[in-house]
Structure 1
Amino acid sequence: MHKIAIFNNRWIFFAAAMPGILLTLMDEFGIHQAIPVITENFNATIPESQWIALGYLLSTGALLMPAGRLADRIGYKRLYFYGLLIFMAGALLSGFAPSLLSLIIFKVLQGVAAAMIQATTIPIIISKFTNDRGKALGAFGFLMALSAIFGPVIGGGIVTLLSWRAFMFLSVPLAFISIVLAWFLLNIFDQDSTFVGEIKDKFDWVGVMLSTGSLLLLLLTLSKANDFGWGSYFSIGGFIITGLLLVSFIIWESKFEFPLLPLHLFLNGTFLTGQIGMFLVVLGNSCIFFLLPFYIQDLKGYEAFISGLVIAGLPLGFLVTGPTIGVLSDRYPNGWKIFLPFGLTISAISMLLLSILSTDSSIWLAFIYCFMMGFGIGFIFMPAQNAIYGIINQKDQGVVTGFINMVRNSSTLTSIAVGTAIVTSVMASQGYPASLDAVREGTIAGIYNSFLEGMTTTFLIGFCVIALGVLITVVSYFLARRSKPKNRQIA
């Protein structure tokens, strides 16, 4: 079946492809606002209710690469469309969920759909922007940043004014609109994949099982390590088994003729440097989103709304630079070699400034530092991704997109888990309960100062992580200048 697009304008095509991923991000950012209400509604505990968001995150993160590779075979637009259908069904079921367990299961289903959508959106978009890919990626990043700002606001508003079920149901009409746009404007049954119509190679099911198993176990271990203890049998066993699965995955991928993730990509300096830069900045700064609200709300005494405004400085900073740098990365294809270390430097400085916050600091200083962080990130992601998509083969765009998003999700969770462990360890070393719940209660004298010391220590370590990224990208730049490799596409 072949649909004829109503419009040929590529920006209309872009607009038709974006609602799906914005919908998944709105749901991801907004669900946290509903968890306290859901907990009360089902007479559950917060740890039990957290599986709503955790199940969504685990299923999305673990399936991004398999979804991307599947899209490389059957078509990006086709898998995107199927993902929208599943996401809408999951939203409808979530709204009618009769129990907490059923709600968790339905959110896992939505997480599967989110992986299908997130792994395919960029390949769909850049197919129409072959010569100015950075412009499209900049616009993509702009809308992603807006969703990060308004997702929690929309989620919190609907939960407060209506109910948590209303928030779940909101995704149904939005997904339906996305489906209609995709059906009429994207030509979803076009053969937009290298393999469509001539799938002769074997699908790497072993690679899928090994990668999914290792990522699922890693994310689960990281998310629960603070509850069980980092030295517990659960945590140590989880990390050991994850390592064994990862080694097995690498060995299998190096031998299989049609691997899930082509390992030769990591031999390319552009691909490797771009991935390292994006990984380290997310690993270093994601703890901000979790720890800074405790500082603003509990230590400084402001409402959650003000806390959200302060942290919104980060996506606002990205809005200033991301789209512009995306366009410049088209004009200067090798500009990423300058943009990347510059953006990492700005981001590192902002983490250093956050590490010197005190009880007397103005919260607007925190806003400025978050804005600086976002400003720096705009120099990192757009040119790095543009450079990576410029050197990979078209048949690998889906799995590479999935890999980029998987690394982002994994490093975010790692940053939050490790940051929480550092803060609670500092608190425990000073004789306070090793729990952030004690900070929220605020009934123990001196606990705020102990938390602040742990938070600033975490931010200082984050500075070191991002500074390592600066060093790696600068060294990579000078090594590349000495060797002067030819910029060619990876086969």
Structure 2
Amino acid sequence: MKSVSQSIRVITLVVTCLGFFMVLLDSSVVLVALPTMQADLHAQLSDLQWTVDAYTLSFAALMLTGGSLSDRFGRKRLFLIGLVLFLIGSAFCGFTPDFNWLIVGRVMQGIGAAALSPGSLSLLVSTFSEPRARAQAIGIWTGISGLAVAAGPLVGGLLIQVSNWRAIFFVNLPLGVLALALGLPLLIESRNPNAQRIDYPGQVLVVGGLTCLIMALIQSSSQGWTSPLILGLLIVAAMLLIAFLLVESRVREPMLPLQLFANIRFSIANLSAVFLGFVIIGAMFFLTQYLQSVQGEGALDTGVRLLPITVGMFIFSPMAGRLTHRLGPRPPIILGTVLAAVGLLLLMGLEPTTDYSMLWWRLAILGTGIGFIFAPLTVVVLSNTAAAHSGLGSSILNTSRQVGVTLGTAVLGAFVVQRFGDNIVSQLVQRGVPKSTSASIASKIASAGAQAARSAALKKLQLPLSPAELHQAINQAFVDSLHGAFLIAAICMLVTAVLVGLLIRQQPAPAKSKQAAGVPATPRAEALATPELD
């Protein structure tokens, strides 16, 4: 490849960092906006779950195919197409009159992110041909992506404070237009002449299966697990996902090579990534509702109060990378999962009136634990994947974490809604409301989650309680429900610690390998690698 001018390299770095920054920012910035969006659009808790999952599901399910399309049709082309789709989706979200259009916009954002993300790194790799300059560029790209994840809640809170929740989507428009204006004329196109075929049957099956599964989990709280709709969705999901595995085991060029999972350490690392995504979203999704809807904090104050989690992740992830190179991946993963579990168990002590002085250090423990897990998981995957599949292995790890985020929102949301209804009945009965009346109230307001105390249905009821007593009962019922969600997340972390301790052998990471430096080994890897925040 002929030499590229310094100005083109700088523009490529700026454009790819801008694109990937927006993708990661939108995975976390939306969390602090959820309570405000719920109140403004008169939505239920299930709507908030779909606001998160519509994005993460389409992102996770299409990411591997995005890499293949980028290889075959051009990295620049797919990156720019993904950027345009992401911007259109952002505009849909910002101008939405209701949650239905919001979900459409979030799906478009997820599709755009899946096309944009693999191309972001592969454009860097193909433009920065000199190894040292390439490593430096990837280091900057990784640091920017880490900043996006860490700053999301604070940025979201600030935007809502100075404007409203729609600003968290509108902010993408000037950034994206700038990236397009620079990228369209100046990015250098590249392809992989040996790109594999697109696995269309596998892609259709996995999207259909995961969509039916997530729909069943989210709607189960309102429909009931034994309803024909939920049972039908679960059956269809199982059939589609089993068919997906059969197709992947027989097709010549699968989007997900199942033989990689024959390695037990590779499988455990990806299962750990699922649990990690599950825990991160479980904590952040409900803590924002606790801080805003129960404790009455504003969006900006909520973003500031969540900083111990994001700062812990941002600070300790690089430290875990250095520790991994000295001791191997097993000690930092076990340390991180145990710390995260401790933080989650401590969060079970939250009450509606808990002072922040008793909260911040629990969040810091959780964030520190999560930070210790990212980099070692990447090392486990790369050290147990053949060089020819290193980029694919890294991309599968990222996909696994996104699947965990999607499942965490759906599973824990369904659990909280179910427990919330039961807890409302218990709290009202304790305050002298007849059980039949309490059950009727719970059935009408439980689906609103933390916003139940402001539910329109509640205002129409005649109750032998003062508004203050009713508000206190509902807040206590919601917080008690969160305790169970935190317990489930803590168990996931402890299970991860046990599995890693038993099944991942102690082995130092090779400090000099290309993969450890963030340099993909093959053209296929260039298209698919998405390094962790290490």
Asked if TM exceeds 0.5, the reply is yes
Pair 359,472 (structure 1): closer, same or farther in 2 beyond 3 Å: same
Match of 1:476 in 2: 503
**Counterpart contact for 2:222–2:447, Cα < 8 Å:** no
Q: CA deviation at 1:316?
A: 0.6
Match of 2:333, as an amino acid? Answer: L
Match of 1:437 in 2: 448
Match of 2:212, as an amino acid? Answer: L
Could you tell me how far apart the structure 2 residues matched to 1:270 and 1:116 are? Answer: 29
Does residue 415 of structure 2 align to residue 416 of structure 1? no
Could you tell me how far apart the structure 1 residues matched to 2:321 and 2:137 are? Answer: 8
Could you tell me how far apart the structure 2 residues matched to 1:40 and 1:358 are? Answer: 22
Among 326, 344, 347, the residue aligned to 1:354: 347
Q: CA deviation at 1:13?
A: 5.8
**Counterpart contact for 1:5–1:186, Cα < 8 Å:** no
Alignment of 1:25-64 (within 5 A): 25-31=24-30, 45=43, 54-64=53-63
**Counterpart contact for 2:45–2:447, Cα < 8 Å:** no
443-452 or 373-382, which deviates more:
443-452
Match of 2:81 in 1: 82
**Counterpart contact for 1:344–1:469, Cα < 8 Å:** yes
Does residue 491 of structure 2 align to residue 457 of structure 1? no
The Cα offsets for residues 217-270 of structure 1, whole Å up to 9 and x where unpaired, read as 223333333232333322222222111111111111111111111001111244
Aligned residues: 475
Pair 354,167 (structure 1): closer, same or farther in 2 beyond 3 Å: closer
The Cα offsets for residues 268-318 of structure 1, whole Å up to 9 and x where unpaired, read as 244223212222233234321122234334544444433332222211101
**Counterpart contact for 2:33–2:157, Cα < 8 Å:** yes
Could you tell me how far apart the structure 2 residues matched to 1:145 and 1:348 are? Answer: 23
Pair 424,466 (structure 1): closer, same or farther in 2 beyond 3 Å: same
Match of 1:414, as an amino acid? Answer: L
Q: CA deviation at 1:467?
A: 0.4
**Counterpart contact for 2:93–2:169, Cα < 8 Å:** yes
Pair 399,83 (structure 1): closer, same or farther in 2 beyond 3 Å: farther
Could you tell me how far apart the structure 2 residues matched to 1:99 and 1:429 are? Answer: 29
Match of 2:288 in 1: 293
Could you tell me how far apart the structure 1 residues matched to 2:100 and 2:382 are? Answer: 40
Secondary structure of 2:320's counterpart equals helix
Match of 1:26, as an amino acid? Answer: L
Could you tell me how far apart the structure 2 residues matched to 1:136 and 1:325 are? Answer: 21
**Counterpart contact for 2:329–2:507, Cα < 8 Å:** no
Among 351, 358, 367, the residue aligned to 1:374: 367
Could you tell me how far apart the structure 1 residues matched to 2:183 and 2:322 are? Answer: 26
Secondary structure of 2:504's counterpart equals helix
Match of 1:384 in 2: 377
Could you tell me how far apart the structure 2 residues matched to 1:469 and 1:83 are? Answer: 34
Normalised by the length of structure 2, the TM-score is 0.75
Q: CA deviation at 1:474?
A: 0.5
Could you tell me how far apart the structure 2 residues matched to 1:269 and 1:48 are? Answer: 36
Match of 1:190, as an amino acid? Answer: S
Match of 2:271 in 1: 276
Could you tell me how far apart the structure 1 residues matched to 2:11 and 2:152 are? Answer: 23
Match of 1:24 in 2: 23
246-255 or 410-419, which deviates more:
410-419
Match of 1:403 in 2: 396
Match of 1:324 in 2: 319
Pair 349,36 (structure 1): closer, same or farther in 2 beyond 3 Å: closer
Structure 1 gaps, min length 5: 482-487
Match of 1:197, as an amino acid? Answer: P
Q: CA deviation at 1:108?
A: 2.9
Does residue 248 of structure 2 align to residue 253 of structure 1? yes
Could you tell me how far apart the structure 2 residues matched to 1:8 and 1:27 are? Answer: 29
Match of 2:190 in 1: 190
Match of 1:179, as an amino acid? Answer: L
Could you tell me how far apart the structure 2 residues matched to 1:13 and 1:77 are? Answer: 10
221-230 or 139-148, which deviates more:
139-148
Q: CA deviation at 1:20?
A: 0.8
Pair 165,325 (structure 1): closer, same or farther in 2 beyond 3 Å: closer
139-148 or 222-231, which deviates more:
139-148
Match of 2:176 in 1: 175
Could you tell me how far apart the structure 2 residues matched to 1:145 and 1:282 are? Answer: 15
Could you tell me how far apart the structure 1 residues matched to 2:449 and 2:88 are? Answer: 39
Q: CA deviation at 1:354?
A: 1.6
Match of 1:210, as an amino acid? Answer: L
Could you tell me how far apart the structure 2 residues matched to 1:294 and 1:102 are? Answer: 22
Could you tell me how far apart the structure 2 residues matched to 1:293 and 1:102 are? Answer: 23
Match of 1:484 in 2: none
Secondary structure of 2:300's counterpart equals helix
**Counterpart contact for 1:134–1:326, Cα < 8 Å:** no
Structure 2 gaps, min length 5: 427-441, 454-466, 509-514, 516-520, 525-534
Match of 1:248, as an amino acid? Answer: A
Match of 2:502, as an amino acid? Answer: V
**Counterpart contact for 1:71–1:120, Cα < 8 Å:** yes
**Counterpart contact for 2:340–2:367, Cα < 8 Å:** yes
Match of 2:501, as an amino acid? Answer: V
Pair 96,428 (structure 1): closer, same or farther in 2 beyond 3 Å: closer
Could you tell me how far apart the structure 1 residues matched to 2:69 and 2:374 are? Answer: 25
Among 304, 307, 313, the residue aligned to 2:308: 313
Q: CA deviation at 1:122?
A: 4.7
Could you tell me how far apart the structure 1 residues matched to 2:168 and 2:419 are? Answer: 38
Match of 1:67 in 2: 66
Q: CA deviation at 1:33?
A: 6.3
